[in-house]
Amino acid sequence: MAEVVAKTNIKKAKGYLYFLDKSGHVCRAEMSRAGRTKGKTKKEVVAKCGVKKVSGYLYFVDKKGNVSRAMMARGRKGGKKKAAHKKRAAPKKKAHHRKAAHKKKRM
């Protein structure tokens, strides 16, 4: 699924986000967690590898610390999704009207 582009063997530290910058170098930035001040954090270059990016691929630092890429999922596979059938509403109960007992008046 993913292929290794550059072997860097970076040791990842907790609390940091690892990514590739525009020039293809591996950088890290402090993640937004409790106690950190809001706003932009400075990125720190961890390894200079100069990876040339190709469109249609997602580049990331894998678990082993190497730069890898995977093809991006674009669109849907298998055609259009069928619309779900609407459930029929339960039939409404008819109100039963009681016939009033008619009393005949005697005169």
Residue 22 lies inside a defined structural domain of this protein: yes
Query: How high is the pLDDT of residue 102?
Result: 62
Range of the domain at 18: 2-71
Query: How high is the pLDDT of residue 86?
Result: 77
Q: Where are the beta strands (DSSP E) in the chain?
A: 2-6, 16-20, 26-30, 44-47, 57-61, 67-71
Cα 69 to its chain centre, rounded Å, is: 18
Distances (CA, A) of 78 to 13, 71, 74, 75, 82: 40, 18, 12, 10, 11
Query: How high is the pLDDT of residue 101?
Result: 62
Query: How high is the pLDDT of residue 92?
Result: 81
Tens digit of each residue's pLDDT, the chain (107 residues): 889 999 999 999 998 999 999 999 999 998 887 666 777 788 899 999 889 999 999 999 999 999 999 999 887 766 666 777 777 888 888 777 666 666 666 66
Residue 94 lies inside a defined structural domain of this protein: no
Cα 16 to Cα 27: distance, rounded to the nearest angstrom: 10
Residue 57 lies inside a defined structural domain of this protein: yes
Residue 82 lies inside a defined structural domain of this protein: no
Which pair of tokens denotes residue 14?
């907790």
Query: How high is the pLDDT of residue 39?
Result: 75
Pairing of strands 16-20, 2-6: unpaired
Domain total for the chain?
1
- pTM here is 0.61
